[in-house]
Amino acid sequence: MAEDVQPQEEGLSTLHLRALRKEWRVVTLQVMATLALFWLFLSLTQVFGHCHPVYEAGNRWCPALDHTLTLDAIEDYFAQEAGEEFRELPLPDWMVGQGNDGDGRYLVPMLLTMMIAGAWVALNFQTPQLRRRIMLGLLVGMILFLAGIFLVTWLFGMLIRWDMYLPFGHADNAMNHANYLIWPLSVYIQVFVVALVMAPVIFGLMGIWGLSKRMINWSLAYILVYLGFYALFSYDGVVSMLGSASDPYMPGLDPLPTQIPASSGLIAPEIWSLLLIAMLMLVYTETSQAVIRFLEYAFRLPESCKKDPEYVRQFKNILNSHMQQTLVIIFAVTFVTMLALKFDEIMIDIVGWFDAGQWSGQVAESLELRLTYGKVISAMMFLLFVAGMRFVVPWQRLLGLIETSIAKARSNP
């Protein structure tokens, strides 16, 4: 048993969490997961986070992945209701990304989310008593920021006038203390809107560097829910139901084309952006979850094994193998997916080779194969064909021979 293993000799490296958190392989996996998360979020904003040109030209709000449009709409509403008393939201534009184009809308909010995630990770390393005190202090500070000036001016006004009155609804502005709630409340509204859009990045960073599977799952769930809502609101039936004759794009989203045009390369540009998002999700999930799995394995080892050089060497070999296999698997999955999405055109070419009659021409001009569900059906047929090849080609034996040959080449250069 592992408990009976005695260390042969105590090496310089150990499998304690404090040492493993600084291991360059672990840090590399965490950096890969962080970069994949940032790239994934920016890809989502580029593919799904834009409005229909009618809405962009009119500077109107639409339910896209863009917090600046929502903040502009809130600012216009407050300016119309409050008049000269409220000109703009309190937080500066450079902090929330208003007024910027492209990825500039998200750069500063992403830096702020990194700071928030870093503070959350640092807080988890503190003692439970200190964490409770810090959380209580933050809660009290938020309450005082919201209602501190309001309560002080209201109580001070009642003492001066020596009379009890409600702090709102008075014609006299000196007795209408509710106005002091507008500024801090608008700050909270801005923070809430930005945090709502940046939630997958915040949860993802907390999960990657805080070693929390729950946060990683929340980040992925948020992304999948957004993709589901986008697919729902960009469906032709929903667009036509919510739209009108004068404004047929009521939801404001610019949906992806339902018909995929034929491409000269291996994959169409419309599909490449979606494939990139899927691959980034795979990289982000695999690398972030792998760090937690490996550290949990090291944490559960007996104390005698954590200092054993043999266990340390095996743990490093596992990390090296995982990094290599992740790159190979990502490349293989991407290539097979591209072939699967190209399979409909391959079938058309095969039909044209064997039969040059009218039927082959009708198949080549078939609209169903160019639509989204045609792509999905043909891709599923290809994947079933690849999965059935395992009964003909011994993939595991071939992979074992490849790994054995690589290991021999390394041992005998």
Q: What is the 3-state secondary structure (H, E, C) of 322-385?
A: HHHHHHHHHHHHHHHHHHHHCHHHHHHHHHHHHCCCHHHHHHHCCCCCCEHHHHHHHHHHHHHH
What is the span of the domain harbouring residue 67?
A: 51-253
Q: Is residue 389 part of a domain?
A: no
Q: Is residue 369 part of a domain?
A: no
Domain count, the chain: 1
Q: Is residue 212 part of a domain?
A: yes
Q: Is the pTM of this model over 0.85?
A: no
What is the SS3 assignment for 208?
helix
Q: What is the pLDDT of residue 368?
A: 58
135: burial class by Cβ within 10 Å (0-12, 13-18, 19+)?
Answer: exposed
Q: Which regions in the chain score pLDDT beneath 50?
A: 1-3, 5-12, 59, 244-251
Q: Is residue 293 part of a domain?
A: no
Q: Is residue 401 part of a domain?
A: no
Q: What is the pLDDT of residue 50?
A: 60
Q: Is residue 79 part of a domain?
A: yes
Q: Is residue 118 part of a domain?
A: yes
Q: Is residue 86 part of a domain?
A: yes
